[in-house]
Amino acid sequence: MNFEFREIGAADGCNSLSLGDASLTALKIFLRKEAKPLHAANLARTFVYAEKDTARVRAYVTIVCGQVSVSYLEPTERVDGFRYKDFPALKLARLAVDTSLQGQGIGNQLVDFVIGVALERVMPYSGCRFLVVDAKPTSISFYERKGFKKTGVVADDSGIVTMVIDLHRLLNTVNKVSTA
């Protein structure tokens, strides 16, 4: 099967993503009903991993602008001298990989794509210090592997945890590695 990664398109098939667990139905419904109109309206941008021949979407990631409350972060994670109550951030709003394709590195690549967008496309032109995600309990360790840290704030009683990457520190690390 041949796949391509690109922004979501009007002709994409968004009805057949399989995620197994019923608790993940919201991710399927978002793709089916909301991803295209929100993308077109610039309210949430979605990028898909789709079958080349059929345009069936088998994985997707959605990005929005966001913010993270300074009070969510440990004192060591905060930025000295910043006097506002929220840090500007980019939010990884949705991420899903079809059950049949999980464990093959696609989720990893989709998160790397979002990190790349933040570092290369957003940060050079806009204040944007953190990448933030509201992680479901079953995906917390997946995001920890990617460098996200739990803020300790549970977004609601479903166990969802807000997690962040400090993009400025990440950029400095990348720059140190590339100049070494």
> Phi, psi at residue 56, to the nearest 5°?
-75, 130
Is 62 a residue that touches ligand COA (CB under 6 A)?
no
* Cβ closest to ligand COA, residue 144 vs residue 172: 144
Of 52 and 145, the one with the shorter C-beta distance to ligand COA is 145
Site for ligand COA contains 135 (CB under 6 A): yes
**Token pair recorded at residue 101:** 């394709």
15 lies in the binding site for ligand COA (CB under 6 A): no
Chain residue at closest Cβ approach to ligand COA: 107
Residue with smaller CB distance to ligand COA, 37 or 105:
105
d(CA 79, CA 100): 42
How far from the centroid of its chain's Cα atoms is residue 175's Cα? 22
How much is the CA Rg of the chain, to the nearest whole Å?
17
Residue 24 makes contact with ligand COA by CB under 6 A: yes
Q: Which is nearer to ligand COA, 147 or 168 (CB)?
A: 147
The answer to the question of residue 44 lying near ligand COA (CB under 6 A) is no
100 scored as a contact of ligand COA (CB under 6 A): no
* 44 touches 84 (CB < 8 A): no
Confirm if 128 and 166 have CB atoms less than 8 A apart. Answer: no
- From the list 18, 54, 104, 172, which residue makes contact with ligand COA (rule: CB under 6 A)? 104
Instruction: Based on the shown chain and the rule CB under 6 A, indicate whether residue 113 belongs to the binding site for ligand COA.
Output: no
- How is 102-161 classified by DSSP, letter by letter? TTSSHHHHHHHHHHHIIIIIITTTS---EEEEEE-GGGHHHHHHTT-EEEEEE-STT--E
Q: Does 96 bind ligand COA (CB under 6 A)?
A: yes
Kindly list the residues in this chain that would bind ligand COA in the complex (CB under 6 A): 19, 24, 27, 95-97, 102-108, 135-136, 138-139, 141-142, 145
